[in-house]
Amino acid sequence: MKAIKLYNIKWDLEGLSPEEKREVEKNLPTQKGFIVDDDFNVLEKVPVLLKKKFGYDFITYSSQEFKIIDKFEDLLYHCAEKGENPKPLFKVGGELSRFGQNCFNNLKNYIHKRIKLERQGTDEYEFPKILDEVMLALEKITGIDWGKGLTEEEWFAELDKILKGYVEDFIADKEKMKEMRKVARKAAKEASKEEGEEDEEDEEDDDEDEDE
């Protein structure tokens, strides 16, 4: 599954009077989000969905796609510092490792940033992508709708509750450590692959500059 966010939606209201446009625009969103299957084709299906739901065609829109993270440990890894080599999140005793604690702190910081931007009235399409990914992950993992309006402290309490339960399970099941190490190795491999792809893109850009 993945999430799609549409924003800057401009509707085709040609033929309506100014007064009719103002009335219609009250019920037409300028941004819309939904969760779809991985093979969902945005260009092919979005126009049909928008027309079916709101009754009007659109002129243009912008969109972003987000991965949906549904496991707490995957969310922590996703919050690691960019370029940092993934390591086990937990020590043998069950407490967070230094790497894991940094990921946990970053997760809290992303929650703080999103709530702050919302309070400031910042348009959602201006939010950094990571803030949307964290919000979607929290909704999936906790079952709590972000729109419920939890405070920063309430979200932190939910995280502490999840962490406590996770650590208890972790200690009770030593096999979890083996699995976490596999996840860490997989994350490290994917991070290395992404860095390699970025390096290749940089080299291609350099080649184009030389050709010019």
Q: Please give the pLDDT value at position 31.
A: 81
For 166-204, give one letter per residue: b (16+ CB within 10 A) or e.
bbeebeeeeebbeebeebbeebeeebeeeeeeeeeeeee
Q: Please give the pLDDT value at position 92.
A: 76
pTM beyond 0.85: the answer is: no
* Alpha-carbon distances of 103 from 55, 66, 74, 144, rounded to whole Å: 44, 19, 10, 21
Mean pLDDT of the chain: 83
